[in-house]
Structure 1
Amino acid sequence: MVVAAAPLGGEQVRWVLTGAVMVEAGEPDALDLLVWAAQQGPFALVIHDAELRYVWVSEEWRRLFDLPGDDQVLGRHFREVRPELFYTEAESGMRQVLASGQPQLREVRTVVPGQASDRAWAISFSPLKDARGVVHAVCVTAVETTERYWARRWLSMLSEAGTRVGTSLDIIKTATELAEMVIPRFADIATVDLLDSVFRGDEPTVELAPGAVALRRVAHRANSPGIPMGAELGETQSYPDYSPPARCIAGGRGLLSAEDDPGFIKWIKLSPYRTAALVSYGMRSIVAVPLQARGTILGVLMCGRSRPEAFTEGHLQVAEELAARAALSLDNARRYTRERTTAIALQRSLLPRRPPKGITVDVATRYLPHLPADFRMCVGGDWFDVIPLSGARVALVVGDVIGHGIRASATMARLRGAVRTLADVDLPPDEVLTHLDDLVIQLSAESGDETGADEDAEGVGATCLYAVYDPVRRQCTMATAGHPPPVVVLPDGTASTPDLLAGPPLGVGGLPFEYAEVNVPEGSMLVLFTDGLIQSRTRDADARLGELCRALTLPAPTLEALCDVVLKAMLVELPADDVALLIARTRALDPSQVATWDVPADPAAVATARENVLLCLAEWRLEELAFGTELIVSELVTNAIRYGRPPIQLRLIRSSALICEVSDTSDTAPHLRRAHVFDEGGRGLFLVAQLSQRWGSRHTPQGKTIWCEQNCGTS
C-alpha cells in the first residue's frame, strides 16, 4: 500500500492513503480484501479527514460524481473539487458527525453528471474513531435509492388520489380533480377527454366518425400558463385513428409516444397548437391512458412532459393505475347522473308541463330539484298545479311532501291526483284540505311494514296551499295547511302577503281548516311557492318573505322572465330544498261577458228564460250555439223549478267557452242515469251531457249550481 506525505502549508504534514495496493504474489491478506471490497462493492465510498479533505475515494464514487484523478483530489477540501449545492448541504452533516461522534443517515436527490434526470441516494455519514473514541475522519457511503424513492412518491400520489379524486358525483369536477392531481409532480400538462355519452348518463359507446374518435374536453391543467391547451373546455374534438388517444382507446391500454413515433409526429403536425407545444415547450413525450371502469371505456387521460426526464414504462404503469382509480369515480358519477336524470324526469312528468288552455290567468312556473352536498339521489315532493274549474274559475295549488326520495315523489303524485279529483267535485278550499288531511293520515298508516308494526311505520306529512280565483267576482278564496302564504302583487306594484289563518300540516288530523277571501283586481299577480324558495341558513322566514316581495317588484318583460328574476334574487346560494314557484297574473271578465236572470219558480218561466238566452247569444254573436243552448237551458231550468227550491238564477258566461249555470237553494245533487224505453223522464241530464263538452254541479253556501260548457272559440 502506498502512503504519501501531503504538504498542507507551514511545517504541518498529513499522511494520505491513496488507495493503491501493492499485492505480493500469493494469497491476499485481510487489508487487501478490505480495499478490494471498498473499491469493487456496489456502493460508493469516500473518506474525509477532520478538516473535510479527501483522504480516500472509491472508483464508484469517482465515476458517479465525475471526480478527477487522485493528484487533483486527495488532500483537497471536498468543496474545492465539487462546489455544487449537493456538497454544500452535505458539509453540515459531516460536521455534525465530527462534533457528536454519532452517525447520520440522509436521503438526497441530485443530478448525476452526464444524466438528464435527478437520482435519489441514501447517504450515510459514519465517524472513524480511534481506541480512545476520538473522531479523526468521516466515512461517507452512498447507496442509490432512486427506484425506491419514486415508488414511494408514486404510491403516495396514488394514495392521495383516493382522497382528492372523486370527492363528489359530478363528472366535470371529478375530471378536474384528476387533471390537478398529476400537475406538476407527474406531468407538465394534463388533459381529460370523455365520450359524450358519459354526460348523458348512457352506457358509454365509442362514437366513431370515419377513422376518428370524438371526445369532449372536460378538464385541462398545465404548470405553465403559456402552454397551449388546444381545445376549449366543453369542445368536442375528433381524434384520428393514428393519434395516441384513438390508439389507446382502440387497444384498451395506455401507450407512450415520443419523437420516434410516426403516429405521434403526424398527429402533432396536424394541429398548430400541438406543433407550438412541441417547438416552444418541448412536449416530446406524452402518456395516453384510457379511463376504463367495469370493462367500459369512458375517455382518455393524456399527460405531457417538457422536463428533461421523459416518460418511461414505469410512468406508464403509474398513469394507468391513476386512471383506473379515477375511472371508477367517473363511472359512479355517470351512473348517478343517469339515475338522477331518470328520477327528475319522472318527477317532472308528474307535474303539469304547460298551463291548461282557456283559463282566466296567465301562468309561469318553475321547478328546481334539490342538489344536496353529498349528491344523493334526492328528488323531492314539491308540486304545483293549475286546474280549470266551473264558472271560468281556476284553482292554483302548490304543495310540499316532507322528505326526499322516490317515496316522497310517489306520495306527491298521489296527493296531486287527489287534489284534482277533489277540484273536479268543486269543493271549497277548506274542504279540499280536510279531505287531503284524511288521505295523508291514511297514507301514513299504510306506510308501515307488512306486519303493521307501529314502531316500524314511517309517517307521511305534507303542506299545501289551495286557492281559487273567480274572474267574475275578482276574488281569490284560499286556505293553507301548514304552507307559506302566497304573495299578492297589485297592479300598482304593491306586494304583500294576505292575512291568512294557517292551518296545521296535512296528516296532523283533528284540527279544522279555514278559508279567506281576498279581492284581486285585474292584472294582479298571485305568487305561490314552496318553502325552499325562502329558506335560509342566516335569515328568518319573515325577512325572506320581505326579500321575495321586493324581488317580485323588479322589472321583467314577461312572467317567464319574472320567474328567472325571482329565482336569481332569492337563490344566491344552493337551496336547501326543492323549489316550486307559480306566478299567475289575473284576467277579469268584463260585465258585458256575464248575463244573469232571476227565474220564477213557475214552469211558464222556462220559455222566458229561453228567449233571454237567445237574445244574449245574438248580442254576443254566438247564434251557432243557439239551438244547443236553448235545449240545455230548458232542461236545467225545468229541473230547478221541478226539483229545486227558489230563488232560482240563470247565468251565462262568455269566456273561452260558453258557460251556462242554473242555481237554486236546494242541496240535492243531480245524477245522470240512462232512461229505459217507457220511462217518462230521466233524459234531461243525458241530453245536457251530449250537447256540452263538460258539465257538473257544485255546492255553494246558498245551495247548488248545475253548470255546463260549450266550445265557442272565443276568450
Structure 2
Amino acid sequence: MERRGGGAGGQAVSAVEDVVQEALTARATVDERGRVTAWSDGAQRLLGYTAAQILGRPATVLLAEEPATAELPPFARLPRWHGTLALRHRDGHRVDARVLAHHHPAPDGSGEGGGADGGGAWLVLSPLEGQEYRASDDDLVRWGFTQSPCCALALYDTTLRLRRANTDMERSVALTEGEMRGLRVPEIVDNEASELAEQDMLRVLESGERQYRENYLRTPGETREHAWSVVVSPLRDGAGRTRGVCLSAHDITEQHWARKRLQLIAESGRRIGSTLDVTRTAQELADVAVPELADFISVDLLTSLDEESAGPVVAAGEQYPEARTQGPALALRRAAHQSVLPGIPEAVIAPGEVDEYPGNSPHVRSLRAGRAALYQVSEPVMARWVAQDPPRAARIRAFGIHSMMTVPLSARGTTLGVAVFMRHRHPDGFQEDDLVLAEELASRAAVCIDNARRYTRERGTAVTLQRSLLPQRLPEQAAVEVATRYLPAGARAGVGGDWFDVIPLSGARVALVVGDVVGHGIHASATMGRLRTAVRTLADIDLPPDELLTHLDDLVGRLAAEAEGPDQGAASARDGESGGDVGATCLYAVYDPVSRLCVVARAGHPLPMVVSPDGTVELLDLPAGPPLGLGGLPFESVETELAEGSLLALYTDGLVESRDTDIDAGISRLRQALTRPAASLENLCDAVLAATLPGRPVDDVALLLARTRALDTDRVATWTIPPDPAAVAETRKNAVDQLATWGLTDNAFVTELIVSELVTNAIRHAEPPIQLRLIHDRNLICEVSDASDTAPRMRRARTYDEGGRGLLLVAHLTDRWGTRPTPKGKTIWAEQAIEGVRDGGKPG
C-alpha cells in the first residue's frame, strides 16, 4: 500500500519508501472480526491474490491448515505475536511464511472495532526471501566488526593471541591489525592495565564468565588519558565450547570525569566549612581541590577584609561594604595553599604573607570582572603578567605549569578574594567543565569563609563586651589572695555569660561571686553585665548570701518577662539567639578574716571546692537551690570555718563538664589539679586549666581561686558597752588607748568623734546589748552593734536643730560608712584610711 503526503514530511516518507522497497515485505491488516482490511503488493507477490480479490474476506481462507483451538493464544490481550504460518497460495501450493503481527487495540481500549484506519486490528508482516542483489551476510558481519563505532574490539584465540581487531582498536593502540596479529595483550601495550586484561581473559577461559574492569590511562595512540570500561567475554561454538575471547573497550572518559566531579562536589560539602575559622576553611578548599582537580592551588583574600574585621558588627540582613578591587595593583593575603609536591615548592609566598598583584594579572582581572577565567601559559595575558613577576615566572618554568584557572571568591554580594588552580603534573590542560567545577567549589568555600568572617567579627565583639563587663582589676582587700581566669568558648555556640567578682565588704570581709547566664552571644553577655551590677549593688547593702540570691532571683524573673515581649522576641530571633530563655546560676560566698567563717549560698551552681592547708580536698556540702529565674523556692546559706591558708575554688560548669566529659570525671581532674604544688595562685590557675581542659573549651569557663588569710587577734579590740550615757566617755578613752597601742595616734581625733556619735546613738535609740569593735586592717574600722533592726539614716539638720548632724560628720570624716543587718540586730560601721596604707601599702 502506498502513502503520500504534501510538503517536506511527504517528501521524507516518499524517500524512505524508495529506499526500503515496500514490495519486499508482505503486509496485510486483519480486523478484530478476522476480515482482511488492507493488502500490499508484497502480499500479492507472496500469495498471488490481488487486493480486490481478498479485501473484506475472512483471513482464514489464506490458511493452508486450520490451527488447533487449544494452541491459539488469547490474542485480545497480546501486544504482538510471531511464528510460522502455513498459508495457501492462490494457485493451491503451500507457503510456509515467517509472520510478525502487531496488535492495534481500538481507541476506546475495548479491543474491538475495525476498519482501514487500523484501530482494533492486527498488522501482519512477512519478509520475502531470496533477493540476490543484497550483499552476503558474511560481508556485513565483517564490515560491522571492523567498522563498529561503539567500542574498540579485539578477538583472541584460546592461546590469548590476537586474531582480529577493529578500526577503533587499531586507532587506540596506534597499530594495525596485521602488526598486532599473533601477539598477546601485554606485548601490544606495555602497561599494568594490559597485564590485568590478560588475567581477566584467562579467567574467562577457565570459568566461561564475563569479566569487567575500569581503568584510566593513556594508550600510545591517544594524546590524552582516557577512562576505559573493559569487558572480556567468551566466544563459544554451537556446542557451547569456548573457542576464543572477545575484548571490548568502551571509552567512558566523559562519564568518568562527570562522576569524579560529582564525587568532588559531594566531598566538598562534607569537608569545607567544618569550622568557623577563615584560615581553616580556606585550607579545606585547597585540600579538596588537590590532587583531584589541580596540582597546585592558592587561596588569597583581600587585605581590606583585615580592616573590616576590626569594625562594628553587621546587623542581620545588612551587607558588608564592597571590597576594594579597583586600582593599578591589589594587595592579597595568602590564606592557604596546597600542592601534589611535598613542601609546596610552587608557592612564592607563605600563608599569612601579603603580596601585591599588578592590575593586568589574571588574579586582579578575575576580581575586577567578577568572573572565573581559564588560561594557558602560552597566552599573551599570561606572558605579560609573568614578565612583571620574575619569581613566579621562574616557578612556572621550573615546574612546567601549563594551565591555570582564576576563580573569584564571592558571597552575599561581597568579594572576598581569589582562588588560583594550576596544573603541571597532570598532562591535560583545564577544560570548561573544570572551570565550572572550580566555580562550584569556590562558591561553597566563599559562603563558608564569609560565615567564618561574620562569626569571627561578632564573636570578637561579644568577647570584648564580655571582658569589659568583667572586673578589669581585682580590688584591694586583705581577706584573701585571689587569682582568676576567664576563657570564652571556642565552639560555634559563641561567647556565653560566665562571670566572677571579688567585692570588698565592711568589717574586712570579702564577697566572692561566680555566675553563669544561660545562652550564648551578645545577649548573654549583656545579661551577665546586668546581673553583675545587681550583685554588687546588693552586696553594698550587706545582704546575707541567701537573701541576696532571693533578690537576684526576682531580678532574673523580671528580665525574663521583659525578654518575652514581642519586640525583643523578634530581635532575638533575627539574631539567632533565644531572647526569652533568661536564666542563670550563681554562687555567693562571704569570708570574714576575723572569725575565719565563710557563709555560702548557691542557686543551681556547681559546688565549690576547698583545699585545706594539709592538702585535703573536699566539696562543700551546700543545698543546691534552684537556678535564678524560677522563683518560688528559698535559698539556704551554710556557714563553715576555714583554716588560715585554705584554698577556695569557685568555677562554672564549663570547667568540669562538656558533651564529651562526664561531670564526675571533670570534678576528679579538678580535685587532682588543686593538690599539685604551684609557685603562686596564678600558676595554679594555669595548671588547673591545663589539667581540666586539654583542648579549646566548648563552653565559657570562669575560675576563681582564693587563699584565705586570718586577721591576728591583737588587731581586733572589742568592748561591751552598758546602755548608760555615762559610758560614752570611758568608751572614747578605751578607743584612744587602743589606737595608741597600734601606733595610730593620727587617727585618734576622728576615731574619738566616730565612737562618741555611734555609741551615743545606740544608747539613745537602740536596744542592748551594745558592742564596740575596732579592727586594724588595711583601714581602721569602727563598728557599733546593737539589738535593734532599725537602721539610722543621714539627714540634713535645720539651723536651730540640736541633733541630726552626727552621721553627716561621720560621712565627711571617713572614707566609707554604712550599716548591715545581723542575726540579732544591726551593725553600723565606718572606715578610715591609715596613713601609709592609703596607696596600697600594708599596715605597720
Same fold by TM-score greater than 0.5: yes
| Counterpart code for 1:432 | L
- 1:394 and 1:468 in contact (8 A); partners too: yes
Change (3 A) 1:626 1:327: same
Q: Which residue among 335, 340, 353 is the counterpart of 1:236?
A: 353
Which residue is 1:7 aligned to?
none
Q: Which residue among 756, 759, 783 is the counterpart of 1:637?
A: 759
Q: Which residue among 513, 517, 540 is the counterpart of 2:636?
A: 513
Q: CA deviation at 1:331?
A: 1.3
Q: CA deviation at 1:566?
A: 0.4
CA distance in 2, matches of 1:124, 1:546: 64
Return the index of the structure with the highest Cα Rg. Answer: 2
- 2:325 and 2:367 in contact (8 A); partners too: no
Which residue is 1:11 aligned to?
none
Which residue is 1:153 aligned to?
260
Cα deviation, 1:296-355, whole Å, max 9, x if unaligned, reads 233333434331414324333322221111111121222222233333333333332321
CA distance in 1, matches of 2:506, 2:817: 8
- 2:296 and 2:337 in contact (8 A); partners too: yes
| Counterpart code for 1:48 | L
Equivalences for residues 384-395 of structure 1 within 5 A: 384-395=500-511
Q: CA deviation at 1:213?
A: 1.5
Cα deviation, 1:101-156, whole Å, max 9, x if unaligned, reads 99998755331436563123466779999999999888777664434432332233
CA distance in 1, matches of 2:827, 2:550: 22
Q: CA deviation at 1:425?
A: 1.5
Deviates more, 1:115-124 or 1:483-492: 115-124
CA distance in 1, matches of 2:151, 2:832: 104
- 2:605 and 2:624 in contact (8 A); partners too: yes
Q: Which residue among 279, 285, 289 is the counterpart of 1:182?
A: 289
Change (3 A) 1:459 1:105: closer
Equivalences for residues 540-619 of structure 1 within 5 A: 544-572=666-694, 575=697, 577-591=699-713, 593-610=715-732, 613=735
| Counterpart code for 1:528 | L
- 1:213 and 1:246 in contact (8 A); partners too: no
Provide structure 1 residue ranges, at least 5 long, that are not aligned to the other structure.
1-26
Q: Secondary structure of 1:383's partner? A: strand
Which residue is 1:299 aligned to?
417
- 2:402 and 2:429 in contact (8 A); partners too: no
Q: Which residue among 792, 795, 804 is the counterpart of 1:673?
A: 795
Q: Which residue among 369, 372, 383 is the counterpart of 1:262?
A: 383
Deviates more, 1:193-202 or 1:505-514: 193-202
Change (3 A) 1:326 1:471: same
Cα deviation, 1:249-304, whole Å, max 9, x if unaligned, reads 45544445665433664577437xx957853x545544443322223233333434
Change (3 A) 1:95 1:589: closer
CA distance in 1, matches of 2:702, 2:185: 78
Question: Is 2:648 aligned against 1:526?
Answer: yes
Change (3 A) 1:484 1:106: closer
CA distance in 1, matches of 2:624, 2:167: 94
Which residue is 1:22 aligned to?
none
Q: Secondary structure of 2:481's partner? A: strand
Which residue is 1:321 aligned to?
440
Q: Secondary structure of 1:528's partner? A: strand
- 1:284 and 1:306 in contact (8 A); partners too: yes
CA distance in 1, matches of 2:203, 2:615: 83
- 1:278 and 1:284 in contact (8 A); partners too: no
User: How high is the TM-score relative to the length of structure 1?
Assistant: 0.79
CA distance in 2, matches of 1:49, 1:473: 104
Q: Which structure has the higher relative contact order (CA within 8 Å, separation 6+)?
A: 1
Q: CA deviation at 1:371?
A: 4.2
Q: CA deviation at 1:396?
A: 0.6
Question: Is 2:450 aligned against 1:337?
Answer: no
Q: Secondary structure of 2:217's partner? A: strand
Q: CA deviation at 1:482?
A: 3.8
Change (3 A) 1:224 1:287: same
Deviates more, 1:578-587 or 1:293-302: 293-302
CA distance in 2, matches of 1:554, 1:101: 75
Which residue is 2:775 aligned to?
653
Q: Secondary structure of 2:817's partner? A: strand
CA distance in 2, matches of 1:430, 1:249: 63
Q: Which residue among 502, 508, 513 is the counterpart of 1:397?
A: 513
Which residue is 1:66 aligned to?
174
Change (3 A) 1:624 1:245: farther
- 1:466 and 1:478 in contact (8 A); partners too: yes
Question: Is 2:477 aligned against 1:354?
Answer: no
CA distance in 1, matches of 2:464, 2:762: 48
Report percent identity of matched pairs.
Answer: 50
Which residue is 2:89 aligned to?
none
- 1:45 and 1:142 in contact (8 A); partners too: yes
CA distance in 2, matches of 1:450, 1:258: 59
Q: CA deviation at 1:636?
A: 2.4
Change (3 A) 1:153 1:622: same
Equivalences for residues 159-558 of structure 1 within 5 A: 159-195=266-302, 197=305, 200=309, 205=323, 211=329, 213-217=331-335, 219-228=336-345, 230=347, 235-241=352-358, 245=363, 248-256=366-374, 259-260=377-378, 261-262=382-383, 265=386, 269-270=390-391, 275=394, 279=398, 281-283=399-401, 285-314=403-432, 315-358=434-477, 360-372=479-491, 375-377=492-494, 379-402=495-518, 409=525, 411-440=527-556, 462-506=584-628, 507=630, 509-511=632-634, 513-521=636-644, 523-535=645-657, 544-558=666-680
Q: CA deviation at 1:679?
A: 3.3
Q: CA deviation at 1:608?
A: 4.8
Change (3 A) 1:675 1:494: same
CA distance in 2, matches of 1:514, 1:102: 85
Cα deviation, 1:212-253, whole Å, max 9, x if unaligned, reads 514143x44333435437589753232443765555445544
Cα deviation, 1:455-485, whole Å, max 9, x if unaligned, reads x997765433221111222332223334333
Q: Secondary structure of 1:696's partner? A: strand
Change (3 A) 1:340 1:308: closer
Q: Secondary structure of 2:594's partner? A: coil
- 2:172 and 2:221 in contact (8 A); partners too: no
| Counterpart code for 2:465 | L
Provide structure 2 residue ranges, at least 5 long, that are not aligned to the other structure.
1-132, 312-319, 568-577
Which residue is 2:218 aligned to?
111
- 1:500 and 1:516 in contact (8 A); partners too: no
Cα deviation, 1:364-416, whole Å, max 9, x if unaligned, reads 212233445xx234x43433221111122110112334555666555544443
Q: Secondary structure of 1:687's partner? A: helix
- 1:285 and 1:304 in contact (8 A); partners too: yes
- 2:278 and 2:453 in contact (8 A); partners too: yes
| Counterpart code for 2:547 | E
| Counterpart code for 2:391 | L
- 1:248 and 1:254 in contact (8 A); partners too: yes
- 1:179 and 1:192 in contact (8 A); partners too: yes
Deviates more, 1:231-240 or 1:461-470: 231-240
CA distance in 1, matches of 2:662, 2:249: 68
- 1:231 and 1:237 in contact (8 A); partners too: no
Deviates more, 1:287-296 or 1:562-571: 287-296
- 1:259 and 1:265 in contact (8 A); partners too: no
| Counterpart code for 2:513 | V
Cα deviation, 1:528-581, whole Å, max 9, x if unaligned, reads 112332336788656644432331122322322211100111223565643221
CA distance in 1, matches of 2:621, 2:155: 95
- 1:599 and 1:649 in contact (8 A); partners too: yes
- 2:276 and 2:455 in contact (8 A); partners too: yes
